[in-house]
Amino acid sequence: MLRKYSNSRTLEDNIKLGALTALSAGMVNVASLLIFFSFTSNVTGHYAILAAEIVKGNWYQVAVVMGWLFLFFFGGFVANLIVIHFNKRNSYIAHSIPIFLEILCLVAVGIYGQFFYTETLAETEMLLALMLFAMGLQNGLTASISNFAVKTTHLTGLTTDLGVLFSMFTKKEFRKNPELVGKAKLLLSIVSSYLVGAVFSGYIYLYMGFKVFYLVSAFLFVVIVYDWYKLRIARYLSSNRRKTSPAISLDEISELTGIRPKKEEEVSVF
């Protein structure tokens, strides 16, 4: 899910990544609405609220919403900064760090909410700010590594794309286009996962309260571990093959690692 970058990603990679991250985004968004009465990934709404508060002259709210918007932006900034600077060294590590940071943010919200939260306005705003940063990280990472094919909290654009795609499917030539069909599958899987996550979060919040953020972190942990597990399998297989035969095929290496080495290079797997 995380190893591959941009054009070397397959539809399956994007669907897996999109579905799992959309699930967590839906869960976080509904949990934040129920607990704090404010969305975390509805950035369009925040811009509208910012305009409304400016008109009303509520400068405190203007400052708060501006801070939230900035932190979402900063999350995307940090995610892509990490990807572009570390991608060449190790793409898996570069793509995992933003998710790891997101997990840290959500776990921090869960722990603070469960043990220290006294429901003051300042605490509410800080926790929301942290969650907006986390959502920015997630959206920035998924957009960056999927070449903007996957954006798990940008449902406005996603719904627009779905509308456009379905109108295109009224023509047979587009219905038979595998790229368009693949894109529709990807977008539908993101929307469905987001909804499932949102509904699930709405139910379990009643029983778990702030612990719901630990559950979200667990889903994100699966995203990180999934690729790490596959890498371990690849290493194990390659070390076994070295005992029986000195080299493995380039196709097998690229399949396992997502790296396409040049044919004349001596290949080694990790």
Partner 1 sequence: MFFIGFACFCGLLIVSSNPEKVILGEWKEMTWEYEIADNAPSQNEIHLTDELRNQSCKNMVMHKAETWTFLPDGKLKLSTQEQSHIVDWRIKGRGHILQIKYNNDTVEHYNLSELNGNEMVLNFEVDVQVRGIAKLTFKKS
In angstroms, what is the minimal distance from the CB of 131 to partner 1? 13
Which residue, 118 or 244, is less far from partner 1 as judged by CB? Answer: 118
The one among 8, 70, 93, 214 contacting partner 1 by CB under 8 A: 70
Residue 235's Cβ-side half-sphere holds a number of Cα atoms within 13 Å equal to 7
Residue whose pair of structure tokens reads 């899987």 in the numeric block: 189
In angstroms, what is the minimal distance from the CB of 175 to partner 1? 45
In angstroms, what is the minimal distance from the CB of 17 to partner 1? 30
d(CA 196, CA 29): 12
Yes or no: say if 141 and 98 are a contact pair by the CB < 8 Å rule.
yes
Which residue, 129 or 234, is less far from partner 1 as judged by CB? Answer: 129
Which residue, 65 or 83, is less far from partner 1 as judged by CB? Answer: 65
Which residue, 60 or 270, is less far from partner 1 as judged by CB? Answer: 60
Computed over its alpha carbons, how large is the radius of gyration of the chain? 21
| DSSP annotation of 88 | T
Read off the tokens for 160: 């627009």
Residues 6 or more apart whose Cβ sits within 8 Å of residue 229: none
How many residues touch partner 1 under the rule CB under 8 A: the total is: 22
d(CA 112, CA 229): 31
Candidate ranges 17-25, 59-67, 146-154, 175-183; the one touching partner 1 (CB under 8 A): 59-67
The one among 55, 88, 120, 173 contacting partner 1 by CB under 8 A: 120
Angle between helices 91-115 and 59-86 (to 10 degrees): 150
In angstroms, what is the minimal distance from the CB of 44 to partner 1? 16
Which residue, 38 or 257, is less far from partner 1 as judged by CB? Answer: 38
Residue whose pair of structure tokens reads 């499917």 in the numeric block: 169
The one among 1, 13, 28, 36 contacting partner 1 by CB under 8 A: 36
- Residue 260 carries which side chain, given as an amino acid letter? R
In angstroms, what is the minimal distance from the CB of 70 to partner 1? 7
Q: Write out the residues near partner 1 by the rule CB under 8 A.
A: 36-38, 49, 53, 58-68, 70, 119-121, 124-125
